[in-house]
Amino acid sequence: QVTLTQKTAIKHPVDSDPDDAVSIAANKITLEATITDRDSDTDTAQLDLGPKLSFKDDGPTATVDPTKAPTLQVDETASQTTGLNKAVSAEFAAAFSGSAGADGSDAAPSGYALNVTNGTASGLLDTATGQAIYLYLNANGVVEGRVGSGDAANANGAVAFAVAVSSTGQVT
């Protein structure tokens, strides 16, 4: 019987699988079996044991509970001081939880980022033009809703709205 005991966290590659496994390199550990007959003749065979010994990562887990996420709503009633350029914000960090796993937490803080496929229709229409509003992620990580042109996405269209997130999960 072979026993493998892990004493410290083993470094795993950073990839899309947080629970991947790594093995000891080939031809580094061999297991040898010896057969002896009644007149003491022997023969041995070896098994390359390294690739058979693996360490599965206990990668981080991130979960989201949509019931803990607030709703942001802009009231587009114009005021004399702000017109339609109004911003509201709320903290969304409470909707997320997780664990760093057995490897422990990295020194870098956790962060938040917005993601969107550029040119995706938002499902909203611009009142003035009747054109669809399409989503774009700008270089600063802000999602912009841009007014389309001729029923098509327009990366240079007027900005109808913007959504930003801070490093602490504050969405504006």
Strand-pair partners of 63: 97
DSSP-based three-state secondary structure for 22: strand
Residue 66: per-residue pLDDT: 92
**126/86 Cα distance (integer angstroms):** 16
User: Block means of pLDDT (10 residues each) for the chain, length 172 residues?
Assistant: 86 79 92 93 93 87 88 76 74 83 63 92 94 95 94 95 89 86
Residue 76: per-residue pLDDT: 75
What is this structure's pTM? 0.70
Find out whether 143 and 136 touch, Cβ atoms under 8 Å: yes
Residue 27: per-residue pLDDT: 92
